[in-house]
Structure 1
Amino acid sequence: MFQNITMKQSIYHAFIEVMETKIDTKQPEIRISNGREMLKLVNVTEITKAAHINRRTFYTYFHDIYDLFDQLEDNYVSGMNQYFQGWEDAPDPMESIVHSVGEVIDYMSENRRGIKLVSTIDTVVFPSMIQVNVKKAISATGALFNQSSLGKDATQDQEWDLNYTIIFLASGFGWASYEWLLNPDVFPKEKLKELISSTFVGAYKLMQSDELINSEHLQAIFNRQQVESNWR
């Protein structure tokens, strides 16, 4: 069993190495438009050569390049999802969630090259996973997601506020993480942990408030800040 895992890991590493020579992950237009079409840039022979194995060994573990990519993607998703557990039973769910954020970012750091590649080819998988877990986190902390907080007569506006908050958070966390994967030395991972944790806590507090900030509130805040800035 251990030998199988080691061999698969070797093939994964070879695939990542070969793909990195084929695509430029720093070009957003490639990331957005091509998707799985990029897998056509590589063939089995190139991977077996990089992994120092024969074709028969490759086909022992994978049907083709697409199966290889799918298994690699599943490997990272399950690797990250292992940290999104046990929030509901924790004495302090918010503290547990913040701790999970740190563990996930550490995992991403350890697997940076592969996760960056998967994120470039499949732009949906990680944002979707994040969205599911943001929803779980909001539920675990007892915010508006559960029916008792929304109340029996929850308005459609309240439900929209919650659902779109989840989408906004997931999208923001996904893109921020991807940008960090591209430039890990420019933006330290400890700073990313801080950013995501504080953003989630802030959104949670906002969702608990009686009234969400509207355009008039934002304008009032902006005007006050302008006055204070001019006064200084």
Structure 2
Amino acid sequence: MNSKLDRRKKYTRMVLKESLMKLLKAKSISTVTVKEICALADINRSTFYSHFSDQFDLLNQIEEEIIEDMNETLMAFHYNQDEESLQMTERIVEYVAEKSDVCTTLFSEHGDSSFKKRVMMVASEHTVKNWLSIYPIDPEISEYVSIFAISGSINVLEDWLKNGMDKTPKEIAEIINNLTNKGLSYLQG
């Protein structure tokens, strides 16, 4: 009996999340209503409120799942050489590809603008520590280096999603990794 309730609860949450994502493709979170989400999900409002307090809470739950997944992915790597760095970057790009629909929506103008900042913070926490252990970066400028590399990487991912993922995750990971680790000098051969 409990497993049936758990499955029903998971299904309800999944349908509500999918419905919100569909609505966010066309409009911003501030204009989405619980009534619209419920109508699209074919779920009554009392059921919605038994899971989430409002549309912002639902969006926050979706974002938290992405952040947690990214954190777990990044924690699995403790790279100290370029090869491991590339593997980590490739895994993140593969994750973005797997969740392309959600990531495209969350990074769009209709998503929550703070989400991109949160993603950058998670990436920064993991990468700066590793960069400092590999490269002798002046601690006074390490934050700037991190912001530059991470915001550039996120923008590359956003563009890649907008372009219909026209390159493989491995190709995008190599571009990001080379630019991050070698700068524009890697283009010169």
Is the structural similarity TM-score above 0.5? Answer: yes
1:82 & 1:60 partners in 2: Cα distance?
28
Distance 2:139 2:21 in 1: 41
Q: How big is the shift at 1:2? A: 4.3
Consecutive unaligned residues of structure 1, counting only runs of 5 or more, are 23-37, 146-157, 204-217, 219-224, 226-232
The answer for the alignment partner of 1:179 in structure 2 is 159
| Structure 1 or 2: more helix by fraction | 2
Q: Within 5 Å, give how 1:13-28 maps onto structure 2.
A: 13-22=18-27
1:5-58 Cα distance to aligned partner (Å, 9 max, x none): 332122111111122132xxxxxxxxxxxxxxx312211111111112111111
Query: Hey, what does 2:15 align to over in structure 1?
Result: 10
Distance 1:87 1:21, change over 3 A: closer
Query: Which of the residues 123, 129, 132 maps onto 2:122?
Result: 129
Would the alpha carbon gap of residues 185 and 107 (structure 1) be closer, same or farther in structure 2, given more than 3 Å must change? Answer: closer
Q: Which residue of 2 aligns with 1:144?
A: 136
Give the aligned partner of residue 101 of structure 1: 89
> 1:115, 1:4 → 2: CA distance?
24
2:65 is the alignment partner of 1:75: yes
**Larger CA deviation: 113-122 vs 170-179:** 113-122
Q: Check whether the contact 1:87–1:96 (CA below 8 A) recurs between aligned residues.
A: yes
Please tell me whether the aligned partners of residues 39 and 66 of structure 1 are also in contact (alpha carbons under 8 angstroms): yes
Indicate conservation of the 8 Å contact 1:43/1:65, yes or no: yes
CA 1:86 to 1:79, structure 2 compared with 1: closer, same or farther past 3 Å? closer
Alignment partners' CA distance in 1, 2:9 and 2:42: 15
Q: Take 2:42 and 2:125, find their aligned partners in 1: how far apart are those partners?
A: 39
List, as ranges, runs of 4+ consecutive aligned residues in structure 1 with deviation greater than 4 Å. Answer: none
The alpha-carbon distance between structure 1 residues 114 and 86, as it changes in their structure 2 partners (threshold 3 A), is closer
How far did residue 188 of structure 1 move?
Answer: 3.8
**Contact 1:116–1:182 (CA under 8 A) maintained in structure 2:** yes
Letter in 1 for 2:154: G
- In structure 2, the residue corresponding to 1:21 is in which secondary structure? coil
Map Cα deviations across residues 101-129 of structure 1 (whole Å, 9 max, x no partner). Answer: 11111111111121122223224222222
| Matched residue count | 176
1:190 aligns with 2:170: yes
Q: Which has the larger displacement, 169-178 or 194-203?
A: 194-203
Check the 8 A contact 1:16/1:114 in 2, yes or no. Answer: yes
Aligned with 1:124: secondary structure? helix
- TM-score of the superposition, structure 1-length normalised? 0.67
Following the alignment from structure 1 to structure 2, what is the Cα–Cα distance between the partners of residues 199 and 55? 48
CA distance in 2, matches of 1:4, 1:107: 25
* RMSD value, Cα: 2.5
Q: Which amino acid is the alignment partner of residue 93 of structure 2?
A: I
